[in-house]
Amino acid sequence: MSSTDQTAALLDRIRAGDSAATGELFELYRERLWRMLSVRLDRRIAGRISVDDVLQEAYLDVAGRVDEYLADPTASFYVWVRFLTVQRLQIVQRAHLGSKMRDARNEVSAQPPSGFASADSMAGQFVGTMTSPSQAAIRNELQDRLRTALDAMDPLDREVLALRHFEELGNNETAAILQLSKDAASKRYIRALKRLREILSGGSVTL
């Protein structure tokens, strides 16, 4: 059964009053949500708050508001649950960082827009497959080059890459999440991917 069919079946169970179905539905998307958060959690609080901590709180939000989705399911369930999860991440980060989040906006090397993937985390994820001794020798250099290139990108272009590669979303869902036209989302993806491939071509990493 496809994830779409599983989602539809679980939503039917929730409508019928099966409270356990909400947890099963969240677990269906947990891995994708984990990948999404892993490149968005502010590194300044990573030692205090884990991705799993954010997911646990996000699940409570979803469980408490799933009736809202059932009343108006205009977006895909993943887009909706992702929205709540990013919203919870922002709340958690504000609680732990407070004024530091506002100060970061004035720094030359500022944090990405709230809820967006960071260049540092994305660079680490892209080169994470390079594990052999020979590859390890060039991994740090390539990661630095990637971080610099990603940091120089328009934040929306970088976010399109994160959505397409780490969350494995299609163009339609990417466009919906970023509130772009499908054509604009596609053009941003092609542009960003071309730039990254130019950098990665010398580092034995493929996209």
3-state secondary structure the chain: CCHHHHHHHHHHHHHCCCCHHHHHHHHHHHHHHHHHHHCCCCHHHCCCCCHHHHHHHHHHHHHHHHHHHHHCCCCCHHHHHHHHHHHHHHHHHHHHHCHHHHHHCCCCCCCCCCCCCCHHHHHHHHCCCCCCHHHHHHHHHHHHHHHHHHHHCCHHHHHHHHHHHCCCCCHHHHHHHHCCCHHHHHHHHHHHHHHHHHHHCCCCCCC
pLDDT greater than 60 at residue 204: no
Fold of 3-104: Rna Polymerase Sigma Factor; Chain: A (1.10.1740)
pLDDT greater than 80 at residue 102: no
The residue among 56 and 166 whose pLDDT is bigger is: 56
- Band the pLDDT of 153: cuts 50, 70, 90: confident
Q: For a pLDDT cut of 70, what percent of the chain falls above it?
A: 84
- Band the pLDDT of 166: cuts 50, 70, 90: confident
pLDDT at 69: 97
pLDDT at 170: 93
- Which CATH number does 119-200 carry? 1.10.10.10
pLDDT at 125: 80
All structural domains of the chain with their residue ranges: 3-104, 119-200
pLDDT greater than 70 at residue 120: yes
Mean pLDDT of 187-198: 88
pLDDT greater than 90 at residue 82: yes
pLDDT at 104: 44
The string of pLDDT tens digits covering residues 23-44 is 999 999 999 999 999 888 887 8
pLDDT at 109: 43
pLDDT at 133: 62
The string of pLDDT tens digits covering residues 45-54 is 878 899 999 9
The residue among 176 and 100 whose pLDDT is bigger is: 176
pLDDT greater than 90 at residue 121: no
